[in-house]
Homo-oligomer: A and B are copies of this chain.
């Protein structure tokens, strides 16, 4: 599946326009939910061309740290993280556009969420451009609520259903496989959607699917935030949240393809590692007390299962 050379500029412009708009909508909504903190914008340039807009908020009433990053970078060679399984792309120059966000709430009863939508075009002289979309969203609770997980996954399914009856179940499974900490035998969270290398069905179809995923992120997350943000918490819950955030760091630095792609392609380190939580604690060989609320997270939520 290829795009004609002539269409690259137009395709990139369309995707860029959508992504800018998505970034603005997400930031406005999160600011509204927080009620106090405002996003600060940083514009930056990539050393091989392109750049991005990083929107960052911290010390909110509700959000301890939230980063919503738009980037559009050019590179002379696709980084290893992108070509490990596709050596034919190794000598392509590329453009990568995406919005990537990670939200770390202060209140341990509000889950952390992550979303990403991206478009990549690889080109080399004498060959048609190769392009693909990727994206998804996933949620990482500290204290689980089955109804929240159901809402999250139902919204994910709604995003996918117009594109095929099996799309949700395929991307849900992919998400479970991707956000998995092998060294812990533990899922990172309760999943959601993950897809990559999407170009089947043509540009319009794939772009629409990516938009649907992008658009449904707030529909999935905002009601959960609104419902849980007043939940009282104390030091115990906060300690558990800081401990669990360690898993987030382990995943992002040991496994995450986006993080590796970014760091290997000489991306802006501060924007890439903006995903890391604000306060994290590692404790040696810690285990929750049996039958506690913390133990329930492991037994009832950090298991791969069908939520709907």
Contact = CB atoms under 8 A, between A and B. Distances in A.
A258 B174 CA distance: 30
B250 A284 contact: no
Contact of A253 (B54, B253, B277): B253
Interface stretch (A147-155, A157-165, A268-276): A268-276
A279 B272 CA distance: 21
A58 B270 CA distance: 31
A280 interface: yes
Interface in A27-42: 42
A58 B284 contact: yes
Interface string A274-298: 1011111111110000000000000
Copies held by the complex? 2
A26 interface: no
Contacts of A278: 281-283
Nearest to A287: B270
A303 interface: no
A249 interface: yes
A283 B279 CA distance: 9
Given A249-B253, A278-B283, 5 more contacts: A183-B263, A183-B269, A249-B280, A274-B284, A279-B279
A208 B61 CA distance: 58
A65 interface: yes
A246 interface: yes
Contacts of A285: 42, 56, 270
Interface string A63-79: 00101000000000000
B279 A67 contact: no
Contacts of A56: 284-285
A132 to B, nearest CB: 25
A1 interface: no
Interface string A214-257: 00000000000000000000000000001000100110011000
Interface string A180-211: 00111000000000000000000000000000
A50 B76 CA distance: 47
A296 to B, nearest CB: 22
A89 B80 CA distance: 24
A285 B56 CA distance: 10
